Structure 1
Amino acid sequence: MILVIDALNRDRFQSVIDDMFQLRARVFKDRMGWDVSVEDGRESDLFDNLDPVYLVALNDEYDVIGCNRMLQTTGPHMLTDVFQDILCGEPSLRSATIWENTRFCIDTERLKHPDSTRSVSSTACELMAGIAEYAYDSGITDVISVVDPAMDRILKRCDNAPYGYLGKTVQMGKTKALAALSDITEERIARIRNFAGITGNIFADEDEVAEALAARTAEEMMSPDLRDYCDEQIAAATTEHEKRAALALRAALAQTSRSRSDIRA
């Protein structure tokens, strides 16, 4: 599922944003060796202070498994203000209907874990579809993506090939960077969906995610003994009625723990 985070709902999903910044640090600094700023294990830059739109891929447990960032080109953005070398002196593309897509990454370690029910490929395609569908619904006609050659090949393999490129490819850290252009059309969305076998709505319900994250936080506030007791009751349930009762007990105890924490605060 894809959660859209923007200036209007950012305060609701600070924990998701924090996890996203940690994922970006692992990918762009540790794995790819890019010259990015990392503090306390989190990668962010000045563009994260400009109210970008984040599209965040979540698994069924609401963990962050992928993300990307979208910025309007009418203001500061990476291609114009950081990757000027790519443009080779060409003028920047600036338009209210042309947006920039950067910081696309997937949590390959989490997705390759034996317990994962999602694959790297399916998550990447769902995130690509989310970018195209969000852009289409927002009236965006074109997206500029600053990517490395490996990501460019992935776009082509997923039937999401760019229709053109700006400037040239430049070296950045251990890898290279280039600017790919994608038109946002119903045809592109259909191609991505058909390639990946995606059906139905891929966007998460904000309230549902917020409630699930609040419930998880509440459970984390429970004492270890109480959590173990609840887990034992759920595991010992022999009927659906007993399981529902055990789950309801855990939810009630978690809420009590959270309420007590709020009172102390």
Structure 2
Amino acid sequence: MILVVDGLNRHLFTEVLDDMFELRARVFGGRLGWDVNIEDGKEIDQFDHLDPAYVIGLDDEGNVVAAVRALQTTGPHMLSDVFSDILCGEAPMRSATMWESTRFCVDTQRLTRGKEKNSVSYATCELMIGSLEYCRNAGIQDIITVIDPVMNRVLKRSNCAPYDYVGETVPMGKVPAMAALLDCSEERISGLREFADIRHDVFIEEEKALEMIEAMKASKISPANRDHKPLTDLEKYFVEQMSAAKTEDERQAVLKLIEALSDTFTPEQKTALLQTPRAFAHEA
């Protein structure tokens, strides 16, 4: 399932974005060895602060398994400001009808082999279909994307070969990088759908995505409350106080009070309240 997160709805999907940034850190900082900025396990750069659109692939449980970023080329973007070596001195291509697609990544650890649903191949094709259809519906005619030779072969095998390349192939971390051009035509999308045997609408509505994400969070029961017993009034009080805490000082004050009343709780309850004070929130 494909979820599009942009400047208008990103406040609804902050946890999804955090998962996406963590996936990017594992792929680009870890597996590919690119020189990227990683803080708190998340890979975020200056272009993420320009309100780009993110096309995000979710599995059946709501986990982020694939993602790509779409950014206008009329302003700062990676090919012009970071990967300019690829251009070999040429001016970057800029057009209101051409967007840059970068940070394409797939979770090869969570996904399976083969071509069935929830496989690497399926998630890759679904993400490409979602990206192309999103751009086409937004009036974008072409995509320019920085890829490595492996992704270039994936595009060719998937009936989605670039129609041209810009600049040269240059070293980038553990792998070379190149800039490829893709049109957002119906012919390209149809060829990709035929290859992947994906006929349905790949997009998930915002409301359904939110419901699925909430259900996934609710299923992660705290060990301290795995027996589903109702919360005590005191536990509910601490949940409310922690939720209302706006600063780190206020949060620490609540934790100190929990510690002071440690005899009131079982060891399991105390551990949960100290380490994951929001663990009971969905049951309060």
Which range, TM-score by smaller chain?
A: 0.7 to 0.9
Partner SS for 2:89 = coil
Q: Unaligned regions of 5+ residues in structure 1, if any?
A: 231-252
Query: What is the CA-CA distance between 1:200 and the residue it aligns to?
Result: 1.4
Structure 2 counterparts to residues 98-137 of structure 1, below 5 A? 98-112=98-112, 118-137=118-137
Residue equivalent to 1:234: none
Quick one: which amino acid aligns to residue 178 of structure 1? M
Q: 1:74 to 1:260 in 2, by over 3 A?
A: farther
Partners of 2:117 and 2:123 within 8 A in 1: no
4+ residue runs over 4 A deviation: 258-262
Counterpart AA for 1:196: A
CA distance in 2, matches of 1:223, 1:174: 40
C-alpha change, 1:174 and 1:212, in structure 2 (3 Å) is same
Helix, strand or coil at the partner of 2:33: coil
Cross-structure match for 1:263: 240
Amino acid at match of 2:193: R
Question: In the aligned structure 1, how far is the partner of 2:54 from the partner of 2:236?
Answer: 31
Cα 1:190–1:261 change in 2 (3 A) is farther
Q: Does 1:227 align with 2:226?
A: yes
Counterpart contact for 1:47–1:77, Cα < 8 Å: yes
Structure 1 position 212, deviation (Å): 2.2
Conservation of the 8 A alpha-carbon contact between 2:53 and 2:70: yes
Letter in 1 for 2:41: G
| Distance 1:198-1:88 versus aligned 2 partners, 3 A rule | same
Quote the residue 1:78 is aligned against. 78
Q: Percent identity?
A: 54
Return the index of the structure with the highest Cα Rg: 2
Unmatched segments (≥5 aa) in structure 2 = 244-284
Give the TM-score, by structure 1 length.
0.84
Distance change >3 Å, CA 259–CA 107, structure 1 → 2: farther
Query: RMSD over aligned Cα, in angstroms?
Result: 2.3
In structure 2, distance between residues paired with 1:202 and 1:142:
20
The 3 A distance-change label for structure 1 pair 156 and 75 is: same
| Bigger mean CA deviation after superposition, 88-97 or 47-56 | 88-97
Question: What does residue 246 of structure 2 align with?
Answer: none
State the Cα deviation string for residues 57-82 of structure 1 (Å, max 9, x = none).
Answer: 00000000000000000010000011
Aligned to 2:172: 172
- Number of residues paired by the alignment? 238
Residue pair 1:98, 1:140 contacting (<8 A) in 2 also: yes
Deviation at 1:119, TM superposition (A): 0.8
TM-score normalised according to structure 2 size: 0.79
